Amino acid sequence: MCVEPSAPPPNRLTRRGVLAASAALAGTATALGAASSTKAAAAAATRPAAHAGDLVIEGGTLLDPATGDVTEDAVVVIREGVVRASGARDAVDVPEGAPRLDAQGQWVLPGLVDAHIHLNTAAEAQDAVRKGATSARSGSTNFYQDIAVRELARQAPEHAPRLQAAGIFVTPDLGDTILADPDLTALARLKNGVRSAEALRRVVEVNLARGADVVKTRVNERAGLPEQDPLAQVYSYEQLSEVVTAARRGGKGVLCHSYSERGCHDAVTAGIRSLEHGVFVAERTLREMLRRGTYFTPTLTAIAGLATSSDPVLAERGRTYLPILKKAVLAAHEMGVPLAAGTDSSGGSVHPIGGEVELMHSAGLSALDAIRTATTGAARLLGLTGTVGRLTRGHAGDVILLAGDPLKDPGLLKSPTRVVRSGLAL
């Protein structure tokens, strides 16, 4: 069976129902205390942010990841969720009557960015924020829950990271995801799964119609399933090119799950925006990434996690893959390939993005460069330069406080003493 590319786009009524269902699955309506009607859930995307805070953070040591500058006894002034001023105490006018947060003895950094995370519920989203990820990019969810979480973040930023949603995975076997969306049900009759040009375009088009900000696809099987071979290729260069082209028509970029060198090279030359995992990426592909400005999101946390698995196949993969991936990360960094930190947290367990920074440092990056992968570097990948990644005027009032100097011990980033999201101290 062929899915016709001229099939009508998803209608508004269908979109409204699908997104209401995703909000129910994610539990975001409960978190918002909003009305449970379908109309209210679908209308959330058009509302302005409901909450933003005023806060003065004073007395801490401020680090600017962009410049590496360190300012002692600093002040950060946040009004309506946005940084209005920052710097040394004697250089900043502090508004009278503003709520204050004493940061003496602590380091003050911008909230971190997790560039690859799977957030299926409001509880996971809040856990991510409390662990320091105040902005994030979704690595896809099964039933568009990340789109619901994104709307939660817009309405109640203290509950969720600022999120770019990927919707559903563009993968050969959509599995139960087909049940989530009437506009995908025709794909269930495909004998070989989502592989034809028409089917690939259809999944991308439905994702974009549902409001996805980015598109997630794959070139290899999974490393986290012992029965799969992560070096086996599931999509060709031509198929990946169809996904990229369809996404670009909607003005969106593509992140691609990858492991094998051939798969990495096919994905990069097909035009993806960022390479995810990429354990066996080689020099020729890294050079192509540098030429194209393709980002590398290695998700070291996820690969390291395999080594602790009770399954012997997965444990051996983790032990084997992690040192190979660390070498690839260092080679990419030394070559100038842009890096972004991502934990690949999923399945209800949220890993602190600070742990990924620590692993970047252990791969050979300086502490400052490792911090940049979760601040200014990740912000560029998400198109949020000027919004997140720094605490200068005009940036979001997203802040983490640390008990010590992360330039000496990046591991401190795993356990912020306080998190501020959009001027709201958690």
Which residue in 381, 390, 354 sits closest to 130, CA to CA? 354
DSSP-derived secondary structure letter, 296:
E
Q: What tokens were used for 326?
A: 């660390």
- Identify the CATH assignment for 112-388 out of 2.40.50.100, 3.20.20.140, 3.20.20.370, 3.90.550.10: 3.20.20.140
Q: Which residue has the higher pLDDT, 100 or 26?
A: 100
Q: Is 4 left (phi over 0), alpha (psi -120 to 50) or beta?
A: beta
Encode pLDDT of 331-341 as tens digits. Answer: 999 999 999 99
Average pLDDT across the chain, whole number: 92
CA distance 376 to 303: 24
Quick one: 222 exposed, middle or buried, by C-beta within 10 A (0-12, 13-18, 19+)?
middle
Mean pLDDT, residues 343-352 taken together:
95
The pLDDT of residue 386 is above 80: yes
The pLDDT of residue 403 is above 90: yes
Encode pLDDT of 117-161 as tens digits. Answer: 999 999 999 999 999 999 999 999 999 999 999 999 999 999 999
pLDDT at 88: 97
Mean pLDDT, residues 107-126 taken together:
97
pLDDT at 13: 58
The pLDDT of residue 176 is above 60: yes
The pLDDT of residue 216 is above 90: yes
pLDDT at 213: 98
Domain boundaries, the chain: 112-388
| pLDDT band with cut points at 50, 70 and 90 for residue 41 | very low
CA distance 201 to 6: 10
Encode pLDDT of 64-79 as tens digits. Answer: 999 999 999 999 999 9
The pLDDT of residue 359 is above 70: yes
Q: What tokens were used for 82?
A: 């946005």
Three-state secondary structure call for residue 315: helix
